[in-house]
Structure 1
Amino acid sequence: MVADDQELVRSGFTMILDAQPDIEVVAEAGDGAQALDAVRRHTPDVALLDIRMPVMDGIDAARAICAESTCRVVMLTTFDVDAYVYDALYAGASGFLLKDVRRDDLVHAVRVVAAGDSLLAPSVTRRLVADFVRRGRTTRSVTSSPAQRLAVLTAREEETLRLLARGLSNAEIAAAFMVSEHTVKTHVSNVLSKLALRDRVQAVICAYESGLVVAGEPGETGEPGETKPGPDADQDR
């Protein structure tokens, strides 16, 4: 399902996606309320939502969609002017794309998110975490201290979370640990399960909220939260 209040943008994305043999656009929407209604009626696997829409914005629509269904949400944003992308993480969004995304990247993003994984454009990830660090803000309701929350993790799982937050792919983590990628996937799955996190996106934020990773600390790879390019950088939970 594609939702954008600009008809040309919406139609363009629909044409690109519908042209793929494994993707069918079952509905379009011009605002968040229409998007929510379309998800209820058509039960799509993925909803592509613009953030700035009339009647109901994309964040409120994402929150309702994720609460009511198993539909995965990808947010579309012109990030320099969208001040609320960070909040969409807590609404349950699994991916963020800039509106000037290339055709192939758009198709790839839908496939990745439909498969149950998460995807962030690296520039969006940097800004999300930098904004969190700058504001020192915690929007997630936490009933225990950060240290207590991470206490459920084994030492290897905690280190896995640290490396995830620093942008390492599963292949890079496997190389660092000198184990197989399958073993790393098991560690990642355990981290998400034990901390009740939806996907890698929320894992990054959790790592910063808990103080496990600090922006600019020695050993951090690239910008805070940046996803490094790699064969599985965007594809493995």
Structure 2
Amino acid sequence: MVLVRSSGRRTLTERRAEELRFSVARTALELFALDGGTSTTVEAICERAGISQRTFYRHFAVKEDVVVPLFERSAQAMLEALEEAPASGDVVTALAEIFYPRTMFRDGPPALFQRRFLSVIRDSPEYMLRWYALDEPLTGPIADFLAARGLAGSDQFERRLRGGLILHAARLTYYHWIRADESPDLDELHELLEQAMVSLIASWTPEMGG
């Protein structure tokens, strides 16, 4: 998947279809978190979402695709945040904010619910692959973000390597947060993201001790 801004105004039908897909995905999020797994049936998702199974399969080829709108919208928000981040200022703070939960979670279920859902996704390979596929195109934009701030390295390979390392560091931070025994806290997640970015960027910038 390539993350791009919309090249034109979407029709009302397209906007409604997108919102329906996202609403059904949020319903699946809630059910997966409650059940502690992905065994929830399409029938149960449809009943909770108030749609028919025929409508479900019109928007999702298979059940596993139901999570795609969540990660798709989150990845798009991260892309926009990368593009709109100020050229000056603290890079660590900017990156932590970019990878902080966006659209999928903000103004949504509480942190415990969010962590349960991500734990389910982490333990389900077919769903995890969809998360990875939608995040992976961010590697290039992250490399561009670093390059604009003098942190991209000396050649194209090193640029993409550093972009990939930032993305993977964010994933590992989420995994650590998911596994935490104490009550989950989104502020703690933000602090962990900052810690992860400092650990990486310090090795690239002498002034940070690398």
What TM-score do the two structures reach when normalised by structure 2?
Answer: 0.30
* Larger relative contact order (Cα-Cα within 8 Å, sequence gap ≥ 6): 2
**Structure richer in strand, relative to its length:** 1
**Structure richer in helix, relative to its length:** 2
The structure number with the bigger radius of gyration is 2
